[in-house]
């Protein structure tokens, strides 16, 4: 598996934001063994980038694979859903 490039859009550093980041980092460190790059983007500081990626709510995790873009919205606590979406994209599994 190559390095996964993921973007997490947030709106300010709130408790909800910090929880989403912590959930993702724990999941990715345990399951992906560091084979990922997570970029946190504040929509207030980078509205043009959020608009370009069509982000309508925060937190939103975006994963672009070779042929599909996945969006996961919420507190990132449903780790099985997140991992399934990302790994299916990388292995060509069900969409």
We report the CATH number of the domain holding residue 78 as: 3.40.30.10
pLDDT digits (tens, 9 = 90+) for 43-69: 999 999 999 999 999 999 999 876 778
- Please tell me which residue, 15 or 34, carries the higher pLDDT value: 15
Which run of H or E residues covers position 66? none
Structural domain count, the chain:
1
Contact 59, 16 (CB under 8 A): yes
Global confidence as pTM: 0.84
Average pLDDT over residues 78-83: 91
User: Regarding predicted confidence, which is higher, 85 or 62?
Assistant: 62
> What range does the domain containing 61 cover?
4-91
User: What is the rounded distance in angstroms from the CA atom of residue 9 to the CA atom of residue 23?
Assistant: 14
């Amino acid at each position: 598996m190559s390095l996964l490039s993921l973007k997490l859009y947030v709106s300010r550093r709130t408790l909800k934001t910090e929880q989403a980041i912590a959930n993702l980092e724990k999941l990715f460190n345990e399951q992906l063994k560091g084979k990922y790059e997570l970029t946190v983007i504040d929509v207030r500081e980078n509205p043009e980038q959020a608009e370009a990626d069509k982000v309508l709510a925060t937190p939103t995790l975006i994963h672009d694979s070779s042929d599909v873009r996945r969006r996961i919205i919420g507190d990132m606590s449903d780790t099985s859903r997140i991992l399934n979406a990302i790994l299916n994209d990388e292995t060509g599994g069900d969409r």
